[in-house]
Structure 1
Amino acid sequence: MTEISPSETDVPGDNGIGPAREVMAVVDEKHFGESATATASTITNSVGDAGCDAVIEYPDGGLRAWGVVFGAALTQFCGYGYLSAFGVYQDYYTRIYMAEHSASAISWIGGIESLLMIAGGLVCGRLYDRGYCMFLLYGGTFVTSLSLFMLAFVKPNQYFGALLCQGLGVGLGGGMAYVPSLAIVSQYFEKRRAMAMSIVTAGVSLGATVNPILVNNLFARTNLGFTSVVLINAAFMTSVLLIACFLIKPRLPPPKKHAKLVNCLKKFSKDWAYIAMTTGFTLFALGFFFPVFYLQLAAITHGLDKTLAFYSLVILNGCSFLGRISCGFIARVVNVNHLGIISALISGCITFAFIAVESTTAVVFIGVLYGFFTGMYTAVMAPITNLLTDDVAELGMRLGISFACSGLGELIGPPIAGALLTGEYHWWRPAVFFGIVELAAAISFGWVELVVRHRRQVKQVREDTGCTGA
């Protein structure tokens, strides 16, 4: 049994992209073939200015190492965890604060925020590899905090103010801090890296659970307006980020060698299995945020209990955490690509259920199942990429490129949902569209499975032929 997490290839110098998001998986070697065994018990790398090969020793524990893990989890709490709670703002903006603007226009705020957090790795990952870890962390904290405090003073129906502060500002700040918060773990852990990464990624689910509770309850107070609510939330987020800055410290100097993005793009463009996988990632990302951004709004517009509506995102994100954690155990007996197909297939079917979201049971059903299976899907993204990677040094680059493409899907998906929904709330339109899109993603992963099987058969034939010839 080999434990694999994306951070295992994110030792500084392995790539120029930086780590993937929210990934933890325990993978059986029989599901990966030879690529799973590429992670050795020690890693040889060029360290700092020494200019020679040195064996990197990992603490794999201790107060400082676990403090870094906790700090990284707090950064994830304020980054993708905050983004995953955008459904609260989608509901509040659409019904109350920016009622003059369509749901589609409002969704661009969350879509841009998501794109910058994910695709920012293309730039920030390269800066991280060049030793700018703390610059990215401090800069991301400053930009995020400033943007949140500025958001508090956006007036009703000032759409572009919210777009600049919450979409561009928070997205840029979150993207800057996102890379070091994941990559830094690889400097402290090797044997226990999967455990450390699971704690870090748990920060996303925790943030996606706590933020909706906090913001919804503050909005529910009649004596607090939008400015007061956002100021309180901004102060809370800033405090958490400052603690993270205090805890996160780099341990290793930056490397000298870096992979070239252009060369990798040329190589990957000829790998049809990788293209199919990236297509699947992008299609799934296109529909991913529809339930996340719109479940609370759907519950309220159907006249359901407001308490249930407010906690619908808590249910969804809490079950997403369970899906991520359980995937590590399920992957011991089930092929990870099969898990990708299953999770995309079931998520698509659940998206169709939005047509009937007219009862408490329907809201809970969607929240529990969609949260669980999208959490599982998130956990297997890196292992599926590893399945197609012959050279483990390319894994980080492959992850960065494919996730940047999926970021484009997350950018345009929510606005498309709002445009299909219209001001008359035709829920069946986005439900059918995104259900079909996620089923198409499952088909793309099915194609990946066929290619992988073919490659194994060809390899086996070559090995048998070689033995016969001997």
Structure 2
Amino acid sequence: MSTPFPSHETAKQAPESVSQPVKIAGNPSLVDPSDAPGFPEGGFTAWGTVLGAFLIQFCGFGYTSVYGVFQGKYFGGLSYRRVDNRAIWIGSVNAFLILSVGLVSGRMVDLGAFYPVMKIGCLLQCFFLFMLSLAKPDGYYQASLIFLSQGIGFGIAIGLTNVPSITVVSHHFQRRRAFAMGIVVAGASLGAILHPIMLNNLINGRLGFANGVRASAGLIGGLLFIANLLMRTRLPPQPKAVSYTRVLQNSSRDGAYICVCIGMAAYEVGFFFEAFYLQLDSTLHGLSQGFSFYSVRLTILNSGSFIGRLAAGVVSAYVGIPNTVVGSSLISSAVLFAMIGLHSEASVAVIAVGYGFCAGGLVAMMGPLISYLTPEISHIGARMGITFAIAGAPICGAFLTSHYIWWKAVVFAGASEPCQAALLVFG
């Protein structure tokens, strides 16, 4: 979403509105095309960039969902409690780094380093996957190698590509930006459906852990190569780079942006709860393992998220980006509270598809919302990185406890999401 300032010669030809905040009356999500004559709003290069960014999300954030498959392998072979705790940290550190590294990668895109950042991130992603294939999950001494490769290395690699893949779309779209970004982030949901099924069959089948991970890494490498060939930046970097200090100062004085950052942090606390614990909740309520894994975690939840992310871009064109975010937040909160009454396969299916659709739509709109609230287009990448970096952590499991007191965790998760809606309305 980062759109660096045009060059000096280009700026002379462009109207003043290109470098000024866009003032929108009425529907805030609709931008007058006359305000952005430099945006192609389509074409082979623009949609090729969207497809490439879609593949980056498919191979990056979408691949993080396979941790459930790896976790079963780690817990199944490791007999020491200390190692089990370390295995739990792998997924948490990975998720933290994916978001926090955006502080660096988002700013690098603003400075015109999109291609180097993407190439380094993609190469590291393949490298650390191959390193992971060298580990033996049934050995105690291998825990450090697994943690370094999958938790730290793989998290940094995806973090380098995550924000830039969303940011670059703003080089080609303004009026259709929300719709294009919705398509891009839908790649993560599709990856969350396909990668776990594929890897589960690979490493638990004839290939085994090492060859299964290598086969997966080969597929990821090929898709990332295609993505790098498709993605293109359009605008040159700002002739004189704006310091990060100035970006932080301007952002700290923007009340609406601060409310969005705090609101997103509050939302993420509840967002991860259903994604992490719906499968366990359904299993403990007597539902079959096959239904819990394939139908809940993959087919229903992530399919709903995929559709929701695509639909959010269309809905926002009619009701506005802020209204779409607020509505999605409130509805997803209501669905979270419904987990208290979970008791059958039908109720699990309704909760999974409802939450996936609403939460997916909200996630799809966070990028366009940050872009909408950023008056200087050279700050978009940095602001997006800041917002993602301070996102909340999945701490709802602490309320669940080892006795599985579901109502406490559900109430905490469900109450955190209306806080985001309130902050957005206030901001």
Shorter-normalised TM range? 0.7 to 0.9
Question: Does the 8 Å contact 2:400/2:409 carry over to 1?
Answer: yes
The size of the alignment, in residue pairs, is 405
Correspondences of 1:6-17 after superposition (within 5 Å): 7=1, 10-13=2-5
The offset of 1:139, in angstroms, is 1.3
CA distance in 2, matches of 1:138, 1:421: 41
Gaps of 5+ in 1: 1-6, 15-27, 44-56, 449-470
In structure 2, how many angstroms separate the alpha carbons of the residues matched to 1:210 and 1:402? Answer: 28
Deviates more, 1:100-109 or 1:331-340: 100-109
**Match among 166, 169, 177 for residue 161 of structure 2:** 177
Residues 1:206 and 2:185 aligned together: no
Moved more, 274-283 or 396-405: 396-405
| Alpha-carbon distance, 1:319 to partner | 0.8
> Which of 118, 125, 136 is residue 106 of structure 2 equivalent to?
125
> Aligned partner of 2:186: which letter?
A
Matched, 1:313 2:297: yes
Residue 31 of structure 1 is matched in structure 2 by 27
Q: Which one of the candidate residues 214, 224, 230 is aligned to 1:241?
A: 224
Distance verdict in 2 for CA 1:271–1:249, change over 3 Å: closer
Q: Within 2, Cα distance between the matches of 1:437 and 1:246?
A: 41
Greater displacement, 379-388 / 205-214: 379-388
Inter-partner Cα distance in structure 2 for 1:253 and 1:385: 21
C-alpha distance after superposition, 1:257-315 (max 9, x if no partner) = 22222123223323333322221111101221122123333334444223222222222
Q: 1:453 maps to which residue?
A: none
2:324 maps to 1:339: yes
Q: What is the match of residue 155 of structure 1?
A: 137
For residues 85 and 399 of structure 2, the distance between their equivalents in structure 1, rounded to whole angstroms, comes to 8
Match of 1:381 among 337, 343, 366: 366
1:60 aligned to 2:42?
yes
1:80-119 → structure 2 map (5 Å cutoff): 80-90=61-71, 92=72, 96-98=76-78, 100-101=80-81, 106-119=87-100
- 4+ residue stretches of structure 1 with deviation over 6 A? none
Residue type matched to 2:155 in 1?
G
1:84–1:173 Cα change, 3 Å: same
How much has 1:370 moved relative to structure 2?
0.8
1:415-454 per-residue CA deviation (whole Å, 9 max, x = no partner) reads x244444444443343232222223323323323xxxxxx
Q: Distance in 1 between matches of 2:218 and 2:248?
A: 42
1:215 aligns with 2:194: no
Q: Distance in 2 between matches of 1:190 and 1:344?
A: 24
Match of 1:42 in 2: 37
Q: How does 1:245-256 map to 2 (within 5 A)?
A: 245-250=228-233, 253-256=236-239
Alignment TM-score, normalising by the size of structure 1: 0.75
Corresponding residue to 2:266 among 264, 269, 283: 283
User: What TM-score, normalized to structure 2?
Assistant: 0.81
State the alpha-carbon separation in 2 of the partners of residues 180 and 276 from structure 1. 23
Asked whether the equivalents of residues 304 and 352 of structure 2 are also in contact (C-alpha less than 8 Å), the reply is yes
The answer (yes or no) to whether the contact 1:87–1:313 under 8 Å persists in 2 is: no
Question: Which structure 2 residue ranges, 5 or more long, are not aligned?
Answer: 7-23
Q: Which of 397, 418, 422 in structure 2 is aligned with 1:439?
A: 418
Cα shift at 1:369:
0.8
**Could you list the per-position Cα deviations for residues 107-143 of structure 1 after superposition, in whole angstroms to 9, with x for gaps in the alignment?**
5323322222222222122323344333222211221
CA displacement at 1:97 relative to structure 2: 4.3
Residue 298 of structure 1 corresponds to 281
Confirm whether residue 361 of structure 1 aligns to residue 346 of structure 2. Answer: yes
Query: Are the counterparts in 1 of residues 180 and 313 from structure 2 also a CA contact under 8 Å?
Result: no
Q: Percent identity?
A: 37
Asked if the contact 2:166/2:367 (under 8 Å) is kept, the reply is no
- Deviation per CA, 1:365-396, whole angstroms, max 9, x where unpaired? 22101101101211332454456555555554
Q: Residue 325 of structure 2 contacts residue 362 of structure 2 at CA under 8 Å; is this kept in 1?
A: yes
- Is residue 59–residue 189 contact of structure 1 (8 Å, CA) maintained in 2? yes
Q: Is 99-108 or 338-347 further displaced after alignment?
A: 99-108
Q: Aligned residue for 1:467? A: none
Matched residue, 2:247: 264
> Counterpart of 1:142?
123
| Residue 428 (structure 1) aligned with residue 424 (structure 2) | no
Cα distance change of structure 1 residues 428 and 216 upon mapping to structure 2, 3 Å threshold: farther
CA distance in 1, matches of 2:280, 2:70: 10
- Residue matched to 1:232: 215
Residues 113 and 167, structure 1, Cα contact 8 Å, conserved in 2: yes
Check the 8 A contact 1:154/1:161 in 2, yes or no: no
Cα drift, residue 78 of structure 1: 0.7
Deviations 1:207-250, CA, capped at 9 Å, x for gaps: 122112212334554x4543343233222222222222333355
